[in-house]
Amino acid sequence: MSHLNLQQAKVAVIGAGTMGIGIAQLAAMHGHTTQIFDADVEKTKTTVSQLTAQLSKRVQAGKMTQELLVRTLENLSIVSTIEQLAESDLIVEAIVEKKEVKQQLFQKLAELCSEQTILASNTSSISITAIASAIPHPERVVGLHFFNPAPVMKLVEIICGLKTDPAIAQGLTELMTAWKKVPVMAKSTPGFIVNRVARPYYAEAFRALQENVTTPEQLDFIMRECGGFAMGPCELTDLIGQDINFSVTQSVYQEFFYEPRYRPSLVQKELVDAGCYGRKSGQGFYRYDSQVPVAQYQLPAVQPLQQKISVLIKGDWSNQPGLLQRIQHAEWLESQHQAADQNEIQIGEVVLRLTQGESVQLSYPQQKIVLMDWHANWENAKAIALVASPACTAQDQAQVTAFLQGMNMIPIWSKDHPGLYVIRSISMLVNEGCEAVLHGIASEQDIDLAMKYGVNYPKGPFEWATQIGYNTILQVLENMYHIYAEEKYRPSLYLRQKVALGQSQLTNKIQYRQAG
């Protein structure tokens, strides 16, 4: 197929649920003649009435013009039979997440519509290749995955099945851009981009809870404060619905032939088995009772400093310049610098380092070592997670606490947990992104866009890896792989290649400078 222009396409949406009406609203607002069909006509009428009321409130609030409201409603029409969709150029289904039901629907549409009609599925997890396999001219079947609420969320995943015509995917990319969306391209694979790459954010959190090293309140605080995430994993899954999140994890796990990286959590299964689905059921990791506020983590109290603290900074700390600046500007700290191959801070007899995935109990049982988690914003950091080796005394920990107090930071002392929380989760997210690129699912750029606009991450996996250092990410994963001896922590070949390429470029640059 040659270049496809869908800017004037006649659009139809099947399914009048929240997602369906949102997609229909988008199409109608952007000038498309839009039909909406649902087997329950009365439900459709009610939904459109609710949409009209919502948009009218936006007009009253000055967030939308009266002209746009009128034009949108003029473009939108309800149809009572599927046969009325026969002249559509683009049909988007947003019905129940069952492959057989979607196949039956598309088979019916294939009988009614032209061979040029694009059949798009809003599925979040079902294989586009599998849906298209039962449809005549499968090259016109494509995934068009919006995120809820569709009018608000920027991301749209455009999914190509094995036989999808690339011109259709390109045409939809241009159309979504015209709709002011952020389109990303992906091959049909379980979970596509977002629902696949996001799995470690939940899995590593649940692993920490299962290993009894933290609490939901503390974990969510650390991921927000230190990781820069909008929501911690426990509160986020409570919002999504523990049953929904667990179901998606099970689906991805099964569809990937039980790949260990996607193994569901027993912690989450217990919640689901108990009917603790989160906000919608009134209880998940937290209770949602109007009489009882949602549990909040309280930072531990610390004693005020009585004297200045002297520290020796070793190494360049080039990946954490904000931490160095914080130390240098702290009036309670006196620091000296020393060149060294390894970044560490000497505080009395204790050595403070950023974790690289080690276990202090296994790696440093006889050394006074404190490992510190990564922080997304050292300049404004309020707290940081740490773990002390068995050789550290209470006085040693008090010295580290005083050092942090000197920068107006409070320590969150943790039990031993390889990689702690933030750098561990980010490393696994990077690894998952690397696997997706390795297998040709999506580009680095599209994966970064998908994770920022689809699940509101502060950065995409490859942006994190560039900031933190691919070699650091690899080291964290190699250490965890060694400690756990589990395939889920095996570093991706693509990650290893990125590190090797970076080292090669660095070596070549150094050699060039020496020669010149």
Q: Which residues are catalytic?
A: 124, 145, 157, 195
In whole angstroms, how far apart are CA 101 and each of 107, 146, 158, 481?
10, 19, 21, 41
| CB neighbour list of residue 441: distance below 8 Å, 6 or more residues apart | 186, 187, 189, 192, 193, 196
Q: Are strands 309-314 and 11-14 parallel, antiparallel or unpaired?
A: unpaired
Q: Which of 115, 113, 88, 70 is nearest to 33 (CA)?
A: 88
d(CA 339, CA 326): 19
Q: Is 452 helix (H, G, I), strand (E, B) or coil?
A: helix
Helix (H) or strand (E) holding 184: strand 182-187
Q: What are phi and psi of 93, to 5 degrees?
A: -95, 140
User: Whole-angstrom Cα distance, residue 306 to residue 55?
Assistant: 60
Q: In the chain, what is the straight-line distance between the N-terminal and C-terminal CA atoms, in Å?
A: 53
CB atoms within 10 A of CB 133: 15
Q: How far apart are alpha carbons 137 and 344 in whole angstroms?
A: 62
DSSP, collapsed to helix, strand or coil, labels residue 231 as coil
CA distance 145 to 365: 50
Cα 87 to Cα 5, 37, 164, distances in angstroms: 17, 14, 21
What are the b/e assignments for 191-200, b being 16+ CB within 10 Å? bbbbbbbbbb
User: Residue 11 belongs to what H/E stretch?
Assistant: strand 11-14
> How do 182-187 and 333-338 pair as beta strands?
unpaired
3-state secondary structure string across 43-110: HHHHHHHHHHHHHHHHHHCCCCCHHHHHHHHHHEEEECCHHHHCCCCEEEECCCCCHHHHHHHHHHHH
User: Edge to edge, what strands does the sheet with 11-14 contain?
Assistant: 76-79, 34-37, 11-14, 90-93, 118-121, 141-146, 155-160, 182-187
Question: Which residues, listed in sequence order, are joined to residue 371 by a DSSP beta bridge?
Answer: 353, 387
User: 86 near 112, Cβ under 8 Å?
Assistant: yes
Among residues 26, 33, 71, the alpha carbon closest in space to that of 178 is found at: 26
